[in-house]
Amino acid sequence: MFPWLNTHRFAIGWLFGLSVVAFVVTLLVIPVLVINMPSSYFLDSPPDATSWHSRHPMIRVAVRFAKNILGILFVLAGIAMLVLPGQGILTLLIGLTLLDFPHKRDLELRIVRQRPVLWLINRMRNKAGREPLVLPQR
């Protein structure tokens, strides 16, 4: 195994650097996203897909593509942070909110209803002077 590490030292260094950068970025970005999320986010119906139909088709495609790529990156980072240092569950949740797929809201609610996750989210929001998230009844 050590000969393999020596031959791939450059790639391992880059991966280590990227993981440190991802860790720092998520520490800065995740609280901002959680704090700015409306407290009624889960009570409101999901945004209508037709709200972008008045935009130019290229803008719609570019925004949707960028949003989904960013969502995939957050989901992958969140999965990695389940075993590495970082806010894995919250990063995963933010990534899921950015992705477009069927029954997304159900999966988001399943994650947010976990007691430690909801406690952490509402603690961040409380420190920022924001109302706690309100979840629909089961």
Give the Cα separation of 16 and 72 in Å (integer). 20
Q: What is the mean pLDDT of residues 119-138?
A: 92
Q: Report pLDDT digits (tens) over 74-116.
A: 888 888 878 776 678 878 888 888 898 888 888 888 989 999 9
What residues contact residue 68 under an 8 Å CB cut-off, 6+ apart? 98, 99, 100
Segment 6-56, tens digit of pLDDT:
788 887 788 778 777 877 877 888 888 889 989 998 887 766 655 666 778
122 vs 54 pLDDT, higher one: 122
**In the chain, where are the structural domains located?**
2-37+56-127
* Per-residue confidence (pLDDT) for residue 124, from 0 to 100: 92
